[in-house]
Homo-oligomer: A and B are copies of this chain.
Amino acid sequence: MSLTTGELAARLGAVLEGDGNVMLRAVADLRTAGEGDVSFAGNPKYLPDVATSRASVVIVPSTAQVVGAAPVLLRAADADAAFAAACALFAPEPLEMPRGIHAQACVSPEARIGKNVSIGAFAVVEAGAEIGEGTTLYPQTYVGHGAQIGADCLVYPFASIRERCILKDRVILHNGAVIGSDGFGYTVNAEGVRTKIPQTGIVVLEEDVEIGANTTIDRARFGQTRIGKGTKVDNLVQIAHNCVVGEHSVLCAQVGMAGTTTLGKHVICAGQVGLAGHLSIGDGAVVGAQAGVPNDLPGAQMYLGSPAIPRMEFGKQIAMIKNLPKWKAQLKDLAARVAELEAELAQKG
């Protein structure tokens, strides 16, 4: 796709400020943009960077104050929407993997493969597995014995779906995601030697779940580890055996959930959050980055810290800790004054 600044203004219904004949070929952020790039400063925080950007044109809100030698501008009432439209205009064609089974894939004759499926080179589909209509298994993916994959799923290279696990429709697994590795469960004898407890359950990923790259979700000791409809899980997240995550929740990168913990619906865990085992977190709870959760949490509020406490309390704690040097001085001052009072009184005694 290639357009002039004037043509782009017309397409977006934006007001052109500057040369309308500059050629545009791609979209980029202010810091990495170069000649031919459309960029964006929706957030006032980024407006100072507009003048120094090498972008050929920058989309800004109608009322934005741009200082300095700015490039061509496109002013739009809804700058976010205008930029999303620009992204769509310049986006490369989405990849469509070839339909059918690649000659170098290894698909068991005892697997059931739906219509219009794509299975890439060096993919393995074991006996008893089912692949739903329209699903794409990229090259070098693994689908274990008796696993069931719904329709229109996308499974990227090096993702594993272990035996008997279930993916419903439109699930996306990014590269290296592991669905159904063994839960981390052992018995310990008196000498402290561990024996593996068989992990005979499965993982179920409901409709429209997306799982990030190299995220790991362990199969249940028995029954199911379950991720609810529409829930999005980022990269490098650990979800232990028998966890249940409610619908439409969000787990950001590097979150860790210990075994048998339940999250409600619409829960958000920010990056690097840790949740202990056997907990219950209420609907709509928001757990801030790096928080550590040792107890059940009621829903519909935000938590911070390790151990995690309600956001307001955490804010107060941090302020208290910041003020400790001031208190120390006050305490010292009071001690001196009390000593002086004691001396005075003793004198008067």
Chain A positions within 8 Å of B, measured between CB atoms, are 26-29, 31-33, 37, 39, 43, 45, 84, 87-88, 90-92, 94-95, 102, 104, 106, 120-122, 124, 138-140, 142, 145, 156-158, 160, 162-164, 172, 174-176, 178, 181-182, 184, 186, 191-194, 196-198, 200-201, 210, 212-214, 216, 218, 220-224, 226, 230, 232, 234-236, 238, 240, 242, 244, 248, 250, 252-254, 256, 258, 260, 262, 265-266, 271-272, 274, 276, 278, 289-290, 292, 294, 306-307, 316-318, 320-322, 324-325, 327-328, 330-331, 334-335, 337-338, 341-342, 344-345, 348
Given A37-B223, A193-B230, A214-B214, output 4 extra A-B contacts at Cβ < 8 Å: A27-B201, A28-B224, A29-B260, A236-B238
Instruction: Write 9 A-B pairs (CB below 8 A) sorted by A numbering.
Output: A32-B224, A32-B226, A87-B221, A121-B122, A124-B139, A157-B160, A254-B254, A317-B321, A338-B338
CA distance A222 to B32 in the complex (A): 10
Q: A178-B175, A345-B345 are in contact. Are A271 and B248 (CB under 8 A)?
A: no
Contact A244 B330 (CB under 8 A): no
Interface centre among A87, A88, A163, A328 (most CB of B within 10 A): A87
> In the assembled complex, which residues on chain B have CB atoms less than 8 Å from the CB atom of A262?
31
Using known A-B contacts A122-B124, A222-B87, A253-B256, determine if residue A139 contacts B27 with beta carbons closer than 8 Å. Answer: no
Q: Are B156 and A158 in contact (CB under 8 A)?
A: no
Chain B hits for A289, CB < 8 A: 258, 274, 276, 292, 294
Of chain B, the residue at the smallest CB distance from A238 is B253
Are B290 and A271 in contact, CB atoms less than 8 angstroms apart? Answer: no
A124-B120, A210-B196, A266-B192 given; A157·B181 CB < 8 A: no
Contacts A160-B156, A160-B157; is A32 near B244 (CB within 8 Å)? yes
**CB neighbours of A224 from chain B (8 A):** 28-29, 32
Give, as a whole number of angstroms, the nearest-CB distance from A167 to chain B: 16
Q: Which B residues are in CB contact (< 8 Å) with A145?
A: 95
Q: Say yes or no: B331 contacts A92, CB within 8 Å.
A: no
Instruction: Check if B256 sits within 8 Å of A256, measured CB to CB.
Output: no
Complex Cα distance, B162 from A94, in Å, reads: 13
Complex Cα spacing A179 to B238, Å: 19
Q: Are the CB atoms of A174 and B181 closer together than 8 Å? A: yes
**Cβ B274 vs Cβ A29 within 8 A:** no
Give the docked Cα–Cα distance between A145 and B238 (Å): 30
